[in-house]
Amino acid sequence: MKSFTIQANDAGQRMDKFIAKAVPLLPKNLMYKYLRTKRIKCNGKRCEISTRLQEGDLVELYINDEFFEERADRLFLHAGPMVEIIYEDENILLVNKPAGLVVHEDESGAPDTLIGRVLRYLYEKGDYDPSREQSFTPALCNRIDRNTMGLVLCAKNAATLRVLNEKIRERELDKVYRCLVHGTPSPQSGRITLFMRKDSKENKIRVFESPVPDGRTMVTDYRVLRSDGQHSLLEIHLITGRTHQIRATMAHIGHPLVGEGKYGVAANSLGFKHQALCAWSITFRFRESCCLNYLNGRTFSLGEDVFATSIQNRR
């Protein structure tokens, strides 16, 4: 038998979600059976899959010890050193991910990921210890491609993660991108509406100018910040958030991103080894009060010179 006292980072979850995280070796079919047969109890009483846990609840599992074997939960200690921190408080961490670093573990299984570096940093700082957590791990709230650089937001506790996931879903976080493209778009600002269909086999999207069956609308606002005629620095605001939206859209209108090889040509005279695309700023625009209300209206961004010097140095 093993018991768990529900902590702040565990509260608010359904019983089945909590058990799946706290006892990952327990198969789901057995978990459901043990809930039915009262071998899993909450506060000494029978509970349901949908029972919502509250801080202080006692969850007791009368199951075999083999399901409680120690987990290999410190792989993050093999991750690389922490990346640049743009902002941090007790709830969130905002970092600048470099191009070339994956956000989560990929098929290679290599531990050096952005989330690995974040967990290592928080562990060494004393803000996170997996041995003290039963079901929560600090998590990234947004993700960008391996070869895209820029701002990624991390929740340091469960309450923050729930709020940020909701605010992102309701589009209450305004994200702005910057990129370098070949040529100069005309007009110098505008809205591009296209349609896309994903090709999962090639990990690529197909772009169309008219609606297509099983397709999705793709809307992008852009503005030229500066140009030398051969290359332009653009500011991009995504009205929709589709896979590869910026890369595919700009290539489709004849101005592919510098260094981008999937939809354009990777070779470039500016020396970019990765696509010149950056998640440049995040603004919190909450419509209703929440535990992160102290961030409402604030904007966090990278330096004004992101990619700009690439054009200036050619003059």
CATH of the domain at 91: 3.30.2350.10
Last residue of a domain, one of 153, 169, 185: 169
Q: Is 284 helix (H, G, I), strand (E, B) or coil?
A: strand
Question: How many CA atoms does the CB half-sphere of 156 hold within 13 Å?
Answer: 20
227 within 8 A of 233, measured Cβ to Cβ = yes
63 and 81 share a domain?
Answer: no
Which segments within 6-91 are labelled E, that is strand?
Answer: 40-42, 45-46, 58-61, 84-88
Which is nearest to 248 in space by CA: 263, 270, 266, 265? 263
193 within 8 A of 181, measured Cβ to Cβ = no
Q: Is 44 helix (H, G, I), strand (E, B) or coil?
A: coil
| pLDDT tens-digit profile, the chain (315 residues) | 888 999 988 899 999 999 988 888 888 888 999 999 999 999 999 999 999 999 999 999 998 877 776 555 677 888 999 999 999 999 999 999 999 999 988 766 677 999 999 999 999 998 998 888 888 899 999 989 999 999 999 999 999 999 999 999 999 999 999 999 999 999 999 999 999 999 888 889 999 999 999 999 999 999 999 999 999 999 999 999 899 999 999 999 999 999 999 998 888 888 898 999 999 999 999 999 999 999 999 999 998 888 877 776 554
197 and 225 share a domain?
Answer: yes
Query: What residue type is assigned to position 248 of the chain?
Result: A
Strand 149-155, strand 277-284: pairing? parallel
pLDDT at position 73: 62
pLDDT at position 271: 87
pLDDT at position 71: 55
143 occurs within a structural domain: yes
101 and 116 share a domain?
Answer: yes
255 occurs within a structural domain: yes
Alpha carbons 60 and 43: distance in angstroms, whole number: 8
188 and 277 share a domain?
Answer: yes
Which segments within the chain are labelled E, that is strand?
Answer: 2-5, 40-42, 45-46, 58-61, 84-88, 92-97, 139-140, 149-155, 173-182, 189-199, 204-208, 216-227, 231-238, 277-284, 299-301
Alpha carbons 44 and 83: distance in angstroms, whole number: 46
82 occurs within a structural domain: yes
184 and 278 share a domain?
Answer: yes
DSSP labels for 222-239? EEEEEE-SSEEEEEEEES
Alpha carbons 69 and 124: distance in angstroms, whole number: 25
pLDDT at position 96: 96
304 occurs within a structural domain: no
Structural domain harbouring 181: 175-283
150 occurs within a structural domain: yes
pLDDT at position 312: 62
Helix (H) or strand (E) holding 123: helix 114-125
101 occurs within a structural domain: yes
302 occurs within a structural domain: no
Last residue of a domain, one of 149, 169, 189: 169
The model's pTM: 0.80
| Catalytic-role residue among 145, 221, 228, 305 | 145
231 within 8 A of 180, measured Cβ to Cβ = yes
Active site residue 145: yes
Q: CB count, 10 Å around CB of 7?
A: 17
Question: What are residue 117's phi and psi, to 5 degrees?
Answer: -65, -40
* Cα 24 to the center of its chain, rounded Å: 23
60 and 80 share a domain?
Answer: no
CA distances from 315 to 235, 276, 311 (A): 21, 19, 7
259: its two tokens: 């260094």
Query: What angle is formed at CA 233 by the lines to CA 230 and CA 237, rounded to 5 degrees?
Result: 140
pLDDT at position 175: 94
pLDDT at position 176: 96
Which is nearest to 250 in space by CA: 305, 177, 307? 177
36 and 115 share a domain?
Answer: no
108 occurs within a structural domain: yes
pLDDT at position 70: 55
Question: What are residue 19's phi and psi, to 5 degrees?
Answer: -65, -40
Number of domains in the chain: 3
